[in-house]
Amino acid sequence: MARPDDTGAKPTLNDVARAAGVSLATVDRVLNARAGVRPATIARVQNAIAELGYVRDTAAANLARRRLYEMAFLLPDTDNEFVAALRDAVAEQATGASVHRTRPTVVPVAPFDPQALADAVDALPASLDGVALFGPETPAVRDAVRRARERGIAVVALVSDLPSSERDHFVGIDNVRAGRTAGRLMGRFTRRSGRVVVLTGSRLARDHLERRQGFDQVMAEYPHLEVGASIEGRDDANRVAAMLARVLSEGNDVVGVYSSAAGNAGLIRALRTMPHDVTVIAHELTPTTRAALMDGTFDALIVQDAGHLVRSAIRLLRASADGAAFDPGQERIRIDIHLRENVPLSPEDTP
């Protein structure tokens, strides 16, 4: 739909005011949906806006308003390295807050505790522009999300979706596809037949379940590989090491390990005691997984870039707060595959 005035100078609020035969102040009122304007006037102004193809200059508006976008990242309070990478990415974006007029802060929330998450959401000040949530969805969380949005706070789900909540966006990967990707690499990388061990964090976490599901879909195409029940490591390195040692000692036929969660330090420890021909696929790029990839302990990493996640969340929260559009192509989080050959050289997490 070509506007009649694509010809050059884009229309300003002044143009709209003139066209509608009202004052600047009135145009501003209808533009910002403020009360106290007669319906007839509203219509006149909206007509003019449509006619002229007016689009508001956010930079000028933010300048006049001295606007500062305040947003909170509710992240589980664990020592999980991936979460640490998210925290670092938030901190990095907070630097130069004045430049972007955006101040993101991290709010730690008790991990694996939906009620704590819901409470944290309710405790958010209404002055906040947006919030990014990383946690499991329960009815309590869903209701808290609804209340937050009613208070005018934009909400995005981070890493793990809240599908039945009315969040504005989901920022993260499709975990079924991530699991499928891991499965494909496992199927093509392994040469011998035998057992494949799957490590998960918690059977309750939606993202872990989805990864397992996708992994199994693809593994079904490789009859030479037999996948056992998930080992629930709870992201705890010691627990992972102990449970895995037991499984590995049960026989010499383990040819692959799919580590779909955290706790990789324990996995690495257990593998040191093994003959080295086990194909290992893990998730996320952290100092631990990166070192394991580089020294050949791990064969591939399935990664969602923490910096990208955080930047995308911020852009989407800002767009939601402004009621503005966004670039879907830019906000699509990719499922990255990292081999030793293509892992980023100096990532944020190894300074």
Partner DNA sequence: TTGAAAGCGCTACCAC
Partner DNA sequence: GTGGTAGCGCTTTCAA
Does 273 sit near its own copies (CB under 8 A)? no
Pairing of β 300-303 and β 336-338:
antiparallel
Q: Among residues 36 and 329, whose Cβ is nearest to DNA?
A: 36
Q: Which H/E stretch holds residue 310? A: helix 306-322
Binding to its own copies (CB under 8 A) within 149-188 occurs at 177-178, 180-181, 183-185, 188
Binding to DNA (CB under 7 A) within 295-324 occurs at none
Least separation in angstroms between CB 296 and its own copies? 12
Residue 22 binds which entry of its own copies, DNA, none, CB below 5-8 Å type-dependent: DNA
DSSP state of 259: E
Q: Among residues 112 and 189, whose Cβ is nearest to its own copies?
A: 189
Q: Among residues 105 and 238, whose Cβ is nearest to its own copies?
A: 105
The CA distance from 209 to 207, in Å, is 5
The CA distance from 30 to 41, in Å, is 9
Residue 7 binds which entry of its own copies, DNA, none, CB below 5-8 Å type-dependent: none
Of 172, 239, 250, 254, the C-alpha closest to 201 is 239
Binding to its own copies (CB under 8 A) within 17-76 occurs at 55, 57-60, 62-63
Least separation in angstroms between CB 130 and DNA? 18
Least separation in angstroms between CB 32 and DNA? 6
Least separation in angstroms between CB 330 and DNA? 23
Q: Is residue 156 within 8 Å of residue 313, measured between CB atoms?
A: yes
Residue 53 backbone dihedrals phi, psi, to 5 degrees: 65, 40
Displacement of CA 22 from its chain's centroid (Å) = 45
Q: How far is CA 150 from CA 106, 114, 145, 170, in A?
A: 22, 20, 9, 18
104 Cβ neighbours under 8 A, 6+ residues apart: 71, 72, 73, 90, 93, 94, 97, 310, 314
Binding to DNA (CB under 7 A) within 20-79 occurs at 21-26, 28-29, 31-32, 35-38, 40-41, 54, 56-57, 60-61, 63-66
Contact set with its own copies (CB under 8 A): 10, 55, 57-60, 62-63, 92, 96, 98-99, 101, 177-178, 180-181, 183-185, 188-189, 191, 214, 218, 299, 305, 307, 311, 325, 327, 329-330, 332, 334-342, 344, 347-348
